[in-house]
């Protein structure tokens, strides 16, 4: 945890500035937005602010705040930033509105690719894709004559060589912080091994061969990591890279630009990206695909919704992308994939392709159960089978409580 997310969590609000010339129209309706706090959202909300009367809140706690804030009538925020994971509670509670009319009226710049359609209705506008993929120190791999690993077995072999050469503190990094991060790392590996989270009758199915394989591979990887891997989140891994302490990690694409930030990074130009490694031969890259995008609240007037949509369109226009090209893998017209976007694109276009993270109530429950029960395996308290059995038991309890399982 470094200072930046903390400061951001302290509700950094870009207070509305007088309308500048960069916005195509002058917004007169007071608008607010709530979104996650990473680089891309900074860029987008800054561009929106230029239209005037707009206040952006970027918060690490947005996933807790958003469902309640959108459910209020009138909604506390007209605009929301979501991902395919966090859009689920909004869809469940029907607190976001279909955008088809607005897209037709004001959204000529949008590519068909950007429209998130559910049963034919456009419910969100995607602006970027994100995925965890392999980032590596090209200089170290070159020096040691190693090829870029394409499977996790190759990653282990390369890690062994790097360890023996002793060029970095730890060959590998991973976002394995207890809770959400660890569960997501497991999800990546599990899907890479061709696992299915649920049986057709809704009962959990993680205690399977794929589950055990995933845990064993992850455990093998931890041999080459900082022993404090259970507290290492995305920011921590990013810093390990920036400080030259690790050589490889399966890390979020949205963290790529930070590697070349001369103010923070000691390894500018030395980190390259490749597709996420495969867990098994002929399988998909062991990762999931995510999108981030914009939704508009249902509990507001049509006038507000129209204004919010127009401001949002200013936020995700070509001009913004050109100014912030490397902040994300944008889906927006005018984007030129940079050096570090190559990995994310190779991941998404791999054959067979990785699946999109499933945005369902069941997956939310499963994600929590995994995050709570898996650490016991990594601390050495229980076997892989026992940890996965505990995940299933936790899932059954919470699924029965939530009413999604008999």
Partner 1 sequence: MKFKTFAAFVAPSLVMMLLFIAAPLVSVFIGSFQLHQPVLQEVEEETCTPGFTGQTCTTTIVTRPLIDESGNMITTTDWVGWTNYTRVLNPEAAWAAVSSLDWSALMQIDFWAALRFTLMFTLVTLPLVIGVGLAIALVVNNAAKTIRGPVIFISLLPFIITPVIGALSIRWLFIGDGILTAGLEAWLDRDLALFAQAWTIELMMMFYRVWHVAPFAFVIFYAGLQTVNQDTLESAIIDGANRFERLRYVIVPHLAPLIVFIALIHLMDAYRVFEEIVGFTSQAHVISLQWLTYDFLQPDDSGNRAFGRASASSMLTMVGIVVLLIPLLRRTWRDHKGGSH
Positions 269 through 308 that interact with partner 1 (CB under 8 A): 289, 291, 298-299
Distances from the Cα of 280 to the Cα of 215, 219, 277, 350, angstroms:
14, 16, 9, 14
With respect to partner 1, which residue has the nearer C-beta, 24 or 118?
A: 118
Nearest to 308 by CA among 59, 353, 316: 316
**Chain centroid to CA 406: how far?**
32
User: What residue spans of 10-84 are helical by DSSP H?
Assistant: 39-49, 62-71
By CB under 8 A, the residues from 116 to 175 that bind partner 1 are: 116-120, 126, 129
Q: Is 353 in the site for partner 1 (CB under 8 A)?
A: yes
Q: Please report how close the Cβ of residue 362 comes to partner 1 at its closest, in angstroms.
A: 7
Q: Please report how close the Cβ of residue 286 comes to partner 1 at its closest, in angstroms.
A: 18
By CB under 8 A, the residues from 198 to 237 that bind partner 1 are: 226-228, 230-231, 236
Of the ranges 9-17, 247-255, 303-311, 346-354, which one interacts with partner 1 (CB under 8 A)? 346-354
**How many Å apart are CA 174 and CA 225, to the nearest integer?**
8
Site map for partner 1, 368-397, x if CB under 8 A? x---x--xx-xx-xx---x---x------x
Looking at the chain, how many residues does it have?
406
Q: Is 20 in the site for partner 1 (CB under 8 A)?
A: no
**Chain centroid to CA 387: how far?**
25
With respect to partner 1, which residue has the nearer C-beta, 106 or 291?
A: 291
Q: Is 94 in the site for partner 1 (CB under 8 A)?
A: yes
Nearest to 186 by CA among 217, 225, 155: 217
Asked if residues 233 and 5 have their Cβ atoms less than 8 Å apart, the reply is no
Angle between helices 39-49 and 302-315 (to 10 degrees): 120
Q: Please report how close the Cβ of residue 79 comes to partner 1 at its closest, in angstroms.
A: 19
Nearest to 290 by CA among 347, 342, 343, 357: 357
| The one among 80, 89, 171, 192 contacting partner 1 by CB under 8 A | 89
**How many Å apart are CA 405 and CA 143, to the nearest integer?**
54
197 is written with which tokens? 């989270």
Site map for partner 1, 37-66, x if CB under 8 A? --------------------------xx--
Q: Is 364 in the site for partner 1 (CB under 8 A)?
A: yes
Q: Please report how close the Cβ of residue 293 comes to partner 1 at its closest, in angstroms.
A: 8
Of the ranges 42-50, 135-143, 160-168, 360-368, which one interacts with partner 1 (CB under 8 A)? 360-368
């Amino acid at each position: 945890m470094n200072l930046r997310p903390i400061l951001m969590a302290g509700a950094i609000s870009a207070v509305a500035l007088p309308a500048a010339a960069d916005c195509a129209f002058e917004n007169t309706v007071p608008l607010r937005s709530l979104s996650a706090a990473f680089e891309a959202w900074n860029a987008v909300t800054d561009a929106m602010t230029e239209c005037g009367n707009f206040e952006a809140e970027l918060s690490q706690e947005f996933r807790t705040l958003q469902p309640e804030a959108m459910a209020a009538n009138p909604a506390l925020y007209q605009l929301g930033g979501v991902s395919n994971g966090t859009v689920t509670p909004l869809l469940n509670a029907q607190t976001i509105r279909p955008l088809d009319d607005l897209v037709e009226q004001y959204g000529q710049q949008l590519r068909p690719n950007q429209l998130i359609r559910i049963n034919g209705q456009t419910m969100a506008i995607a602006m970027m894709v994100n995925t965890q993929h392999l980032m590596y120190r090209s200089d170290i791999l070159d020096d040691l004559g190693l090829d870029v690993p394409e499977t996790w077995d190759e990653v282990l072999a390369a890690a062994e060589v790097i360890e023996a050469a002793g060029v970095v503190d730890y060959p590998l990094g991973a976002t394995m912080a207890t809770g959400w991060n660890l569960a997501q790392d497991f999800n990546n590996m599990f899907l890479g091994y061709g696992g299915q989270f649920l049986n057709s009758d809704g009962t959990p199915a993680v205690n399977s061969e794929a589950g055990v394989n995933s845990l064993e591979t992850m455990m093998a990887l931890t041999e080459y990591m900082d022993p404090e891997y259970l507290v290492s989140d995305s920011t921590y891994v990013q810093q390990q890279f920036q400080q030259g302490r690790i050589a490889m990690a399966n890390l979020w694409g949205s963290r790529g630009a930070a590697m070349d930030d001369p103010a923070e990074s000691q390894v500018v130009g030395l980190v390259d990206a490749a597709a996420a490694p495969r867990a098994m031969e002929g399988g998909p890259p062991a990762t999931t695909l995510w999108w981030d995008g914009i939704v508009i609240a249902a509990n507001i007037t049509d006038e507000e919704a129209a204004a919010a949509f127009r401001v949002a369109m200013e936020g995700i226009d070509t001009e913004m992308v050109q100014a912030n090209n490397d902040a994300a893998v944008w889906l927006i017209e005018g984007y030129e994939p940079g050096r570090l976007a190559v990995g994310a694109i190779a991941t998404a276009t791999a054959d067979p392709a990785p699946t999109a993270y499933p945005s369902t109530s069941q997956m939310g429950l499963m994600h929590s159960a995994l995050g709570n029960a898996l650490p016991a395996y990594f601390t050495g308290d229980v076997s892989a089978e026992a940890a996965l059995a505990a995940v299933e038991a936790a899932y059954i309890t919470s699924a029965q409580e939530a009413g999604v399982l008999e």
